[in-house]
């Protein structure tokens, strides 16, 4: 093998900065040495990787093809090195996870806690470090695509071609209202009643918003959206105050339903469900720690996993896929 990891590191730095001078400062390396390394790797591959635009170097199609593989190889090498360093120090490497709000606020904390309670905590490697970023689904997908996080957990689906989308848990969406709302006393709210109601919704980039609109609009035809809020907790609270009705995950409203602050509206609509998904970059190197955590997620018995469920016989267990 003639291409070195150092050459790939320099290539990635130049790709990110579009400048041999800036890349050299970040490594650190002289500009001439950085330029020489780029020339060497282009000669070894027999093709140009950058277009020269003035003083800037812009990735061409060959460079864009190489970049994800180069990043994956570098991450793999760094992870290998870090494993030995951490093992020597009695530590484990940090996992960088991202989750959309419902999963990040209501589901993953329980999974992580369950992982800590397992007989062999080292199998989950939740200590000493795990970073969990919570944002809407589109931002989580972008973070996975840009290698900013190791894995993403989202509501709904994802259409990013560079990501592997793995079906995970099934979730039920409930239409809820304040006990004082007129629809709360309806024995069975029909389509006309739901069309006239004021709805409280998530922001447009939210996976919950995408799923709710898809499920409701195909039955109702239209929605009267009275307010858009940036989080499920805000919608839940606003709904309990009587500002409108909403359609939220059972995970989100379970406590308010139990306390009586919200009631489920019975309707003529079929059961509303969605599938949560796990996102991995197709070129991502998967460390042993990440594989162990994902396998723990797949085996948590308190959640309705796909395997053995009616109607899911044709779907593989998530982590029997090629990860």
Helix (H) or strand (E) holding 36: helix 31-45
pLDDT value, residue 89: 56
Phi, psi (deg, nearest 5) at residue 276: -80, 155
Q: What is the CATH number of domain 5-89?
A: 1.10.10.10
> Terminus-to-terminus CA distance in the chain, angstroms?
25
Contact in structure between 136 and 101 (CB atoms under 8 Å) = yes
d(Cα 105, Cα 261) in Å, to the nearest integer? 20
- Domain 170-273: which CATH class? alpha beta
User: CATH topology of 95-169+275-320 equal to that of 170-273?
Assistant: yes
User: Per-domain residue ranges for the chain?
Assistant: 5-89, 95-169+275-320, 170-273
Cβ-Cβ contacts under 8 Å for 297 (sequence gap 6 or more): 111, 168, 278
Global model pTM greater than 0.85? no
Q: What is the CATH number of domain 95-169+275-320?
A: 3.40.190.10
Return per-residue pLDDT of the chain as tens, 323 residues: 588 999 999 999 999 999 999 999 998 899 999 999 999 999 999 999 999 888 899 999 999 999 999 998 898 888 777 767 665 554 556 789 999 988 999 999 888 887 766 645 444 444 446 889 999 888 999 999 988 899 999 987 788 889 999 999 889 999 999 999 999 888 889 999 999 999 999 888 777 788 888 888 888 888 899 999 988 899 999 999 999 999 999 999 999 999 999 999 999 888 888 899 999 998 887 877 788 888 888 875 333 333 333 333 233 333 333 34
pLDDT value, residue 305: 32
Per the structure block, which two tokens stand in for 179?
């006990």
pLDDT value, residue 306: 31
Phi, psi (deg, nearest 5) at residue 289: -60, -45
Q: Cis (ω within 30 of 0) for the bond into 128?
A: yes
Residue 187: Cβ-neighbour burial (10 angstroms; 0-12, 13-18, 19+): exposed
d(Cα 150, Cα 295) in Å, to the nearest integer? 14
Query: How many CB atoms lie under 10 A from the CB of residue 239?
Result: 26
Looking at residue 122, the DSSP 8-state letter turns out to be G
Range list of H helices, 90-231: 101-102, 108-117, 137-145, 191-196, 207-220
pLDDT value, residue 86: 63
pLDDT value, residue 61: 94
């Amino acid at each position: 093998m003639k291409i070195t990891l150092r050459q790939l590191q320099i290539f990635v730095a130049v790709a990110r900065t579009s400048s041999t001078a800036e890349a050299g400062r970040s490594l650190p390396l002289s500009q001439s040495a950085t330029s020489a390394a780029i020339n060497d790797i282009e000669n070894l591959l027999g093709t140009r990787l950058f277009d020269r635009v003035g003083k800037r170097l812009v990735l061409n199609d060959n460079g864009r093809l190489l970049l994800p593989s180069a990043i994956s190889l570098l991450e793999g090498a760094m992870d290998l090195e870090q494993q030995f360093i951490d093992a020597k120090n009695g530590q484990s490497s940090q996992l960088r996870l991202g989750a959309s709000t419902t999963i990040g606020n209501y589901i993953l904390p329980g999974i992580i806690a369950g992982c800590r309670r397992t007989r062999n905590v080292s199998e989950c490697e939740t200590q000493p470090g795990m970073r969990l970023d919570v944002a809407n689904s589109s931002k989580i997908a972008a973070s996975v695509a840009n290698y900013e996080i190791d894995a993403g957990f989202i509501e709904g689906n994802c259409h990013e071609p560079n990501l592997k989308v793995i079906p995970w848990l099934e979730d039920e969406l409930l239409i809820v209202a304040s006990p004082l709302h007129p629809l709360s006393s309806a024995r069975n709210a029909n389509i006309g009643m739901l069309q006239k109601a004021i709805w409280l919704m998530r922001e447009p980039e939210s996976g919950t918003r995408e799923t709710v609109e898809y499920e409701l609009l195909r039955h109702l035809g239209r929605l009267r959206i009275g307010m858009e809020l940036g989080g499920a907790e805000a919608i839940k609270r606003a709904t309990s105050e009587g500002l409108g009705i909403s359609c939220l995950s059972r995970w989100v409203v379970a406590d308010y339903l139990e306390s009586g602050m919200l009631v489920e509206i019975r309707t003529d609509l079929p059961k509303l469900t969605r599938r949560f998904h796990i996102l991995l970059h197709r070129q991502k190197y998967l460390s042993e720690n990440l594989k162990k955590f994902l396998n723990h997620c797949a085996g948590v018995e308190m959640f309705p996993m796909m395997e053995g469920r009616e109607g899911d016989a044709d779907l593989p267990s998530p982590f029997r896929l090629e990860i």
